[in-house]
Amino acid sequence: MVVTEERFLFALGAGGNPRKVQWCDRENNTTWTPAATNEAGDLELNTSGQIMKGVKVRGQTLILTSTDAHAANYIGPPYVYGIERVGTSCGLAANEAVAVVDAGAFWMGPHAFYSYTGSLVQEVPSDVADHVFNDMNRAQISKAFAVTNSNYGEIFWFYPSAEATENDRYCVYNYIENTWYIGSLPRTAGVDRGAFRSPIWADASNYKIYEHDIGFDYGTLSPFVESGPIVIGSGDTVVSVTEL
């Protein structure tokens, strides 16, 4: 389910139909049958996939399926909503593997990362895509999830590596700096700061909930940083490093 910008409640996969979107009358979740006196209605997506998730982005409701992406726009009575396909071959890998920030919606597909900023879906170039998608337990990919860290402009994706049955790896896209990084950490759910002072992430494997980005308690882990190749300008022989 998802609540739209116009305050309608969308039921995704309504009536057991994996491609059906049904909405109730505006701000009235007891009226689902269309009539001349209300704005309830339904539409079936023109897709071969099944609906995975709905999110609000830039005044629209983005509906992601296992194969493509659709945008629902409010057009008023008598049709109420119009839905158009905005991307193909860009399905969502897991129900919770999508995050929405000011820059748009970003999600993990079966073999690449994608974004939607209000017009068309685009693949997000990633320096770590091979590392992620070539070492992933696809039988357990439904456990992957995305969580934002607005303190640093980051989107984390946690997923199970090839030898794991639970999430044990992550990759991060910094949408402010347009950079990627990777790491190993078991997390199965999370929420950004907002109601809490810091991000709250959980690990179901040990039944613990962690407050992140606070203090210097790393448990048994040792902090480290490893970069990729640092490229200097063409023809240059000197690079000036200001801080390390």
- Dump pLDDT digits (tens) for 33-74: 999 999 999 999 999 999 999 999 988 999 999 999 999 999
Does 24 lie in the same domain as 83?
A: yes
Does 43 lie in the same domain as 24?
A: yes
* 222 confidence band (pLDDT: 50, 70, 90): confident
Radius of gyration for the chain, computed over Cα atoms and rounded to the nearest angstrom: 21
The mean pLDDT of 81-100, rounded to a whole number, is: 97
Does 199 lie in the same domain as 105?
A: yes
Query: In the chain, how many domains are there?
Result: 2
Does 96 lie in the same domain as 77?
A: no
* 218 confidence band (pLDDT: 50, 70, 90): confident
- Is the pTM higher than 0.85? yes
Does 212 lie in the same domain as 102?
A: yes
Does 169 lie in the same domain as 109?
A: yes
User: According to the model, what pLDDT value does residue 68 have?
Assistant: 98
Question: Does 211 map to a domain?
Answer: yes
For residue 228, pLDDT over 80 is answered with no
User: According to the model, what pLDDT value does residue 242 have?
Assistant: 87
With left for phi above 0 and alpha for psi between -120 and 50, is residue 111 left, alpha or beta? alpha
User: According to the model, what pLDDT value does residue 234 have?
Assistant: 83
Task: Give the domain range for residue 10.
Answer: 1-88
pLDDT tens track for 125-149: 999 999 999 999 999 999 999 999 9
Does 139 lie in the same domain as 82?
A: no
Question: Does 238 map to a domain?
Answer: no
Question: Does 239 map to a domain?
Answer: no
Does 127 lie in the same domain as 49?
A: no
User: According to the model, what pLDDT value does residue 201 have?
Assistant: 97
Question: Does 67 map to a domain?
Answer: yes
Question: Does 187 map to a domain?
Answer: yes
Does 55 lie in the same domain as 102?
A: no
Does 208 lie in the same domain as 97?
A: yes
User: According to the model, what pLDDT value does residue 233 have?
Assistant: 80
Question: Does 23 map to a domain?
Answer: yes
With H, G, I as helix, E, B as strand and everything else as coil, classify residue 43: strand
Q: Tell me, what DSSP letter sits at residue 28?
A: B
- Residues 62 and 69 sit within 8 Å (Cβ to Cβ): yes
Question: Does 242 map to a domain?
Answer: no
User: According to the model, what pLDDT value does residue 205 have?
Assistant: 86
* 215 confidence band (pLDDT: 50, 70, 90): confident
